[in-house]
Chain A
Amino acid sequence: MITLITRISPGDLWSALTGPGDLDPLLTSVESGGVTLAVLIVFCTPLAWMMARDRLPFPRIWEAGILSALLLPPLVIGLLLVFMVGPYTWIGSILDWFHQSATNTFLALVIAEVYESAPYYVLGAQAAFSGVDTSLEQQAGLLGDRPFTVFRRVTLPLAAPGLAMSLAVAWARAIGAFGAVVIIAYHPFGIPMQIFTTLQETGLYTALPYALVLLVVALPLPLAAYVWSARAERRRRG
């Protein structure tokens, strides 16, 4: 952070961001990151809950799948995604049927970001749900709550600080995703791609303003999640 701030003059920053279309990569990254977060919340939250409560068949296979996505280099994930959602795959054919494509499109960018960030969210959310005492859920049930109401009134509020932190980490991973993105979603340009192409075309110093923008966009959510989690914990302690 200090390096970035000391190496960039306000003039460089202004000139980098005020030209026509200069903010497009930023908007693309924020939009794709937002959609990615929505996908994670909708699909990965139930997955993490089921993993935490042993409700999945073959749980070790699911865990291995999540861990492999975490451990594989993002570049390799991108290569494998080509074989999964590329134009010559059955998923690609289905997408084509709907006049969609998972190569060099906004959809491809979201898919790449989901694959890069999902393991961070799922594993964090699983830990957050595992930390909720199941006897409290039982007690809520005995007090008259149906399972979904128990989830809404007890499980979710108790897991919320952990979920928020996991989501914040996933956001940072999604908005900074590069390895998989460069393979299947070179276009549309997000901030990381903008940094990469600027670095290649015009050098290190002209890429720095975009790096600062990426940090400024990526950091507030994790910071807010941290502050909120700490406040929630303080409130619980009375």
Chain B
Amino acid sequence: MLNVDVAADRRDFTVRAALDVADGERVALFGPSGAGKTTVLEVIAGLVEPQSGRVELGGRTLTSTASPRVAVPPWERRVGLLRQDPGLFPHLSVRANLTYARSSRAGHSAAGVELTEIAASLGIEELLAAMPARLSGGQRHRVALGRLLLARCDALLLDEPFASLDAALRRSLTALVKELSSQRSVPSVLVTHQLSDAQAFADRLLVMDAGAILQAGAPDAVVLRPASRRVAELVGYLGFVPADADTDADTDADAVGGGAAGVVAGVHPDRVLPGSQPGQGLVVSGTVTAARPSGAGWEADVLVGDAPFTCRLPSRPDGARLSVTLLDPPYFGPDGGLCGDRSPSPRSANSA
């Protein structure tokens, strides 16, 4: 079990993070670049000293700013950190890299069988004699991952490890890390600014911005019901339309606050149906200001009154006017907070 409750000063703000990660649990710390996510990992790893707080791992206190002050050095923490740069030692062969920790830590016998097993599970058994310079990006990450597994770390910290790899390789490596972290039953924390990576990896998502954790929860719950407009923006909502404009259907807007002035509905581009389907969610009509191909479909910029949003459609929108249905959108009050916690009934909003 990893327990973290720390505050660490950065030049521009103070990073405050509180998270408990059970053995075998996978948590993703998601947020924009510069949000303070890496600082949290570095505090856990002992590379940054927090201003206040506590870090515990498996019942051991690694950091405590309360008296008596505790600051276990990184080499005694048994915490594995995998960064975007896999950090292989260029002067050592793959085999020597994999077994590096075994010759550092007392009580570890020769890697032997385990080395062979892990190399096989990572698909790098043919590379043991090679030097890191000869490896591809994906192979380097596999070796770095194997090195952490052989080091028998008590926690796995992943700092955007696969960000520089292509999507397919990223998916396969994320699945591999997920499987191995479950097998090892160690708490794992992934830091990423890619929501898809966080969703693919984590049991629990923590959204972080400007040093603060804004929301924590199951990944789908956070995406479907962001706690605030800011969280909604971070998890991919591309616009907010007034929820009370030209309502032409009976609604229970008051129950969700949708009837109040200033309440807006969040538009997630992937949760939009073309056309008016009142039974499915909020119907919105607006003016198409731009449309462009996106993946297998189209992406359209739409203006509802003076509120812009972007949505993805299966085909190119016909004409300048567009009606779409927002599937079960979250509603936000004038203060930016989420209104209510249940799906609103069918409503519609149209541009003037």
Q: Which residues of A contact B (CB under 8 A)?
A: 133, 135-136, 138-146, 149, 154, 157-158, 232, 235-238
Contacts and interface: CB of A to CB of B under 8 A. Distances in A.
B131 interface: yes
B133 A238 contact: yes
Nearest to A139: B87
Contact of B75 (A142, A157, A235): A142
Contacts of B85: 135
B262 interface: no
A142 B45 contact: yes
A142 B74 contact: yes
B178 interface: no
Interface residues of B, number: 28
Contacts of B81: 138-139, 142
B147 interface: yes
17 contacts: A133-B87, A135-B87, A136-B89, A138-B74, A140-B89, A142-B77, A142-B80, A143-B100, A143-B104, A144-B76, A144-B151, A146-B75, A157-B91, A158-B90, A236-B131, A238-B131, A238-B133
Given A142-B75, A143-B101, 7 more contacts: A136-B87, A138-B81, A142-B77, A143-B75, A144-B76, A236-B90, A238-B130
Contacts of B91: 157-158, 232, 235-236
Nearest to B131: A238
Interface string B210-242: 000000000000000000000000000000000
Contacts of B90: 158, 236
Nearest to A135: B87
B174 to A, nearest CB: 21
B177 interface: no
> Would you list the 7 A-B pairs with minimal beta carbon distance, nearest first?
A144-B104, A238-B131, A238-B134, A143-B101, A139-B87, A144-B105, A141-B74
B41 to A, nearest CB: 11
B89 A138 contact: no
B47 interface: yes
